[in-house]
């Protein structure tokens, strides 16, 4: 299930605010309920930003611990969603930096997998997207994931990331240009298209 199916939209009363307030006051049971409510969504987003299950788990764990430590400093419990995604993206930054020391770059060689006439069903497409996405910075990846995976409007992405809407827009354009270029590179190199 997609996080946006369970989390309406950032900044709205999508979570029980009393749960947040109880956790703010150190109630571990309430925090456990919060983890159950948001844990899957955070991990799914972390995985899509970092493209590595292990790094995503570490980032999610780090984000949840930061949420616990700093929860009393959250003034408006109804902003919990946006605030928690911001902390998650910060954790992804930290994990991303850590992973830069060793970054496996396996990719599927073109030629063995058929491409479809259109749409997205090709393994080669996936591989090209994967490589194109990994070339993006965490900043750009976060915008793509929050907007195209969580379906957040740009202003809510901006709130979650703590940057201006204009910055979000330009990052999204830059990221999509990069992904389009990756797919176009695929189109230029696949044997099927070369034969046409």
Partner 1 sequence: MTADRDVTGIVRAWLEDGLTKLPKHVRERVLEDIRATPQHRSWWPMPSLQSITSLARIAAAVAIVVMIALVGLNLVPSSHQVAGPPPSRSPAPSTTGLSATPVLTPSPSLSPSPNPTSTTPVSLLAPAGSAVGNRSGLLPAGTYDDLGVDGNFNVRFTVPAGWTWNGNSLSKGGIGQPGGAAIFFFGQPEQVEVDPCHWAAVQASPSVSTVANPTVESFITALAAQPMRNATTPVNRPMSSLGLAGRWAGLAVSVTVPSDLSLASCDQGQFRSWTAGSDIRSNQGPGQRDLVWAVDLTGNGVTNAGQTLIVDAATYPGTPAAVAAQINAILASMKAGHWG
User: Which residues of this protein are in contact with partner 1, per CB under 8 A?
Assistant: 1-3, 17-18, 21-22, 24-26, 28, 31-32, 35-36, 39-44, 47-48, 53, 56-57, 60-61, 64-65, 68-77, 79, 83, 90, 118-120, 125-126, 129, 137-139, 144-145, 148-149, 162-164, 167, 171, 176, 179-180, 183-184, 186-187
Tokens representing 172 are 């999204």
Smallest distance from partner 1 to CB 179, Å = 6
Helices (H) and strands (E) in the chain, counts: 10, 0
Contacts 24+ apart (CB under 8 A), 165-169: 168/143
Q: Which residue is it, tokens 């955070």?
A: 42
| Closer to partner 1 by Cβ: residue 9 or 39 | 39
**Taking Cα atoms as reference points, which of 43, 145, 57, 158 lies closest to residue 98?**
57
Phi first, then psi, for residue 177 (nearest 5°) are: -60, -45
| Closer to partner 1 by Cβ: residue 9 or 74 | 74
| Closer to partner 1 by Cβ: residue 14 or 149 | 149
Smallest distance from partner 1 to CB 45, Å = 9
End-to-end CA distance of the chain: 39
| Closer to partner 1 by Cβ: residue 3 or 110 | 3
| Closer to partner 1 by Cβ: residue 26 or 191 | 26
Smallest distance from partner 1 to CB 177, Å = 9
Smallest distance from partner 1 to CB 134, Å = 13
Q: Using H for helix, E for strand and C for coil, what is the string for 129-164?
A: HHHHHHCCCHHHHHHHHHHHHCCCCHHHHHHHHCCC
Dihedral of CA atoms 56, 132, 147, 39 in degrees, nearest 10, equals -10
Smallest distance from partner 1 to CB 164, Å = 6
């Amino acid at each position: 299930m997609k996080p946006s199916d369970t989390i309406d939209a950032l900044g709205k009363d999508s979570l029980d605010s009393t749960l947040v307030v109880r956790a703010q006051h150190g109630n571990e049971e309430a925090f456990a309920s919060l983890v159950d409510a948001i844990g899957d969504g955070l991990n799914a987003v972390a995985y899509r930003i970092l493209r590595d299950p292990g790094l995503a788990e570490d980032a999610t764990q780090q984000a949840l611990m930061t949420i616990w430590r700093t929860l009393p400093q959250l003034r408006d419990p109804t902003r919990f969603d946006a605030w928690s995604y911001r902390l998650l993206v910060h954790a992804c930054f930290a994990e991303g930096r850590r992973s830069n020391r060793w970054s496996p770059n396996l990719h599927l060689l073109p030629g063995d997998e058929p491409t479809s006439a259109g749409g997205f069903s090709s393994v080669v497409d996936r591989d090209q997207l994967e490589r194109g996405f990994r070339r993006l910075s965490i900043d750009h990846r976060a915008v793509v994931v929050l907007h195209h995976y969580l379906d957040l409007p740009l202003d809510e992405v901006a709130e979650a990331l703590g940057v201006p809407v204009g910055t979000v827009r330009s990052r999204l354009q830059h990221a999509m240009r990069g992904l389009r270029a990756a797919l176009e590179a695929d189109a230029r190199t696949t044997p099927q298209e070369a034969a046409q």
